[in-house]
Amino acid sequence: MNKDLEILLVTKGHIFEREPFFKMIDDLKVLEDGTTVNWTHVEQPAAGALLHPQRAAPYDAIVFYDMPGVTFTRSDPPFAHFDPSEQYKEDFMALVESGKGMVFMHHAIASWPSWPEFAEVIGGRFHFLPGELDGRQYPGSGFRFRVPQTISVVDESHPIVDGVESEFSIVDEAYLFPVLEDKVQPLLRSDFNFVASEFEMGGIGFEDHPPGSNLVGWTKRSGNSDIAYLQLGHGPEIYFNANFRRLLSNSVKWASQKSKEQDHDRSVHLDYA
């Protein structure tokens, strides 16, 4: 792989502690193997203009730490879901078909909760309002802050977990939501008990949510794109965790691989045309 990656970082839609988050991103500008990472940051909704095969072409991969598609109403009900525009949907699905690598972090699983195709792309969905996923109805999802957990690597052969401890302890936010386990490749599992009684807050009806998956990291192929999801990543305590940083940097490199191979193929074609 060329020692230079161009990464598009998408945020907004969910609050986060910006200073420590971007300190983490700054620290990942040069990875342990010498790979240089050039990060371009864009917020929603402006990000939509770049989520298109041609306009995203300069980027080797896209990292999502955003949460569009949800409004906090401060009324009853306290949440509302909304879909992206038809143009956004068309452009994003074309981007997936083009083979652009993508990494989704933490609350990005709650993005576009009323758009079925998006959940299929990422491999699961957090609901603020009751909704349907993969033909099954679910109540709102749950969340709980500062959960002590032991994370176990379940596929030690995968490049994303290279250099990550096979078991490591963290304190991070946990989510109770449906995961499409039969459509993803597991990477990480938590020892936390993902049942409704262990969760303190959440979407409408989270108290009645069926037992959830303890899968907190996975990959999948959507269209022609390599997709990675890391449930970890709520705040400064995890931003500065060495295992989380390694997972994120490895995910970025893994998601970028196809773009680099495509660039190489184009270069070879031009050199020998």
| DSSP labels, 66-85 | E--SEEE-SSSSSEEE-PPP
CA distance 218 to 230: 7
Q: Are 179 and 213 in contact (CB under 8 A)?
A: yes
Is residue 177 a contact partner of residue 126, using CB atoms and an 8 Å limit?
yes
The domain limits of the chain are 4-272
Tokens of 272: 């020998």
Q: Tell me if the pTM is above 0.75.
A: yes
pLDDT tens digits for 56-93? 999 999 999 999 999 999 899 999 999 999 999 999 99
User: What value does the mean pLDDT take over residues 28-37?
Assistant: 92
Share of residues in the chain with pLDDT > 70 (%): 94
pLDDT score for 260: 60
Give the percent of the chain with pLDDT over 90: 90
pLDDT in tens, 95-137: 999 999 999 999 999 999 999 999 999 999 999 999 999 999 9
236 to 21, 39, 99, 223: CA distances (angstroms): 7, 19, 32, 34
The rounded distance, in Å, linking the Cα atoms of 234 and 21 is 10
Please report, for residues 4, 28, 170, 203, 247, the alpha-carbon distance to residue 31 in angstroms, rounded to integers and kept in the order given. Answer: 10, 6, 22, 38, 12
What's residue 158's pLDDT?
97
Token pair for 162:
């290279």
CA gap 38, 29 in Å, rounded: 6
pLDDT at 33: 87
Q: In the prediction, which pLDDT does 145 show?
A: 96
pLDDT at 263 over 80: no
- Residue 165 pLDDT greater than 90, yes or no: yes
Whole-number mean pLDDT of the chain? 93
Q: Which residue has better confidence, 34 or 194?
A: 194
> What does R_g of the chain's alpha carbons equal in angstroms?
18
4-272 domain in CATH 3.40.50.880? Answer: yes
**pLDDT value of position 264:** 44
